[in-house]
């Protein structure tokens, strides 16, 4: 993972607008593995993220690039992974709040950038950043729940916009945003539960992102992290479902087996499926999802497949940060 801060292969040239994402994928992967961030790496991260910050308070995908909600989310999460006062102080909360208001649309949706596309990713990025930074959610997101609920499809998952196909990543963004806005019941919970459950494939054990698609290790997080949030909502509202809440809604063991047996690369990292090369994106999200599968939110015992050395740090499913990184950042922004 650390090699990525020293040099990247030429194939990463296409990610020139994803500097904050590369920092986040690498740092979050290290954190979930229980590794400390070296001082030199932390300083490099701060330098890179600061260079991506714009006068609006938002962050672009690289130096001198326009501010973008995805880049802003990744930049903030990368700084939270570093976790020092110097890193967290880089964020301009006053300017960032103004930038979020600029991205808000009359429909309740958010655009990713000025004159850019609006989709459920943008809403989630804005909600997650605002929540983490202790920026008031009202009136900024007052109309967002209605728009998000319109993105739920007949299948039960969520699409990028109203009328689009249900997709694992957009489903995570939509439901997690509703969860953080305390409006999780503003969607069809039983339909969502059924759609999510059907995305775990019986043969491979991993999740597919859409109906009739191949399994991909990144959906270990995008699909898997929705379950603890959904199950918390259903547990508090027994009238919504007949599903028993004393056990998980997906198979933790076979999901771990898919990632550990099928997707690990002999040279390091995790690939999306057997035979493919590893990369930082899939490594980050596969590890995060693996952690979700290991730590049983409602059971007495964690479910670690294999030796105890396989145990990963516990993740916050709504932010994709380790619990320690999340509470450290939240404490900082609440106190300041």
Tell me the catalytic residues: 167, 210, 213, 216, 218-219, 272, 279, 282
Q: How many CA atoms lie within 13 A of 113 on its CB side?
A: 13
Contact of 157 with 192, CB cutoff 8 Å:
yes
Torsion region of 148: left, alpha or beta (phi above 0 gives left; psi -120 to 50 gives alpha): alpha
- Two structure tokens written together for 245: 């809440």
Spell 118-157 as b/e; 16+ CB within 10 A means b. bbbbbbbbbbbbbbbbebebeebbeebbebbbbbbbebbb
User: Is omega for the bond preceding 272 within 30 degrees of 0, making it cis?
Assistant: no
């Amino acid at each position: 993972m650390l090699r990525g801060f020293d040099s990247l292969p030429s194939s990463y040239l296409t990610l020139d607008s994803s500097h904050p994402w590369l920092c986040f994928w690498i740092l979050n992967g290290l954190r979930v593995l229980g590794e400390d961030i070296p001082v030199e790496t932390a300083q490099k991260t701060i330098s890179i993220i600061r260079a991506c910050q714009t006068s609006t308070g938002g962050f672009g995908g690289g130096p001198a690039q326009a501010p973008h909600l995805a880049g802003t989310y990744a930049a903030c999460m990368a700084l939270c992974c570093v976790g020092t006062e110097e890193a967290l102080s880089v964020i301009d909360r006053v300017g960032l709040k103004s930038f979020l208001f600029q991205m808000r649309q009359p429909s309740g949706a958010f655009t990713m950038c000025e004159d850019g596309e609006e989709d459920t990713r943008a809403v989630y990025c804005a909600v997650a950043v605002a929540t983490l930074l202790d920026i008031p959610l009202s009136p900024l997101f007052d109309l967002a729940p209605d728009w998000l609920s319109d993105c739920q499809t007949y299948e039960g998952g969520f699409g990028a916009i109203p009328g689009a196909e249900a997709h694992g990543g957009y489903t995570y963004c939509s439901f997690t945003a509703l969860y953080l806005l305390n409006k999780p019941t503003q969607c069809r919970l039983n339909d969502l539960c059924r759609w999510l459950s059907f995305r775990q494939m019986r043969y491979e054990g991993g999740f597919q992102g859409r109906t009739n698609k191949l399994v991909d290790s990144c959906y270990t997080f995008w699909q898997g992290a929705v379950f603890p949030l959904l199950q918390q909502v259903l547990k508090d509202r027994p009238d919504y479902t007949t599903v028993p809440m004393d056990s998980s809604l997906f198979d933790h063991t076979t999901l771990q087996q898919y990632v550990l047996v099928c997707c690990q690369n002999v040279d390091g990292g995790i690939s999306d499926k057997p035979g493919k090369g590893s990369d930082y994106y899939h490594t980050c999200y596969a590890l995060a999802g693996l952690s979700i599968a290991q730590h049983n939110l409602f059971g007495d015992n964690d479910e670690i497949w294999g030796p105890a050395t396989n145990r990963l740090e516990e993740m916050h499913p709504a932010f994709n940060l380790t619990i320690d990184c999340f509470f450290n950042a939240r404490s900082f922004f609440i106190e300041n």
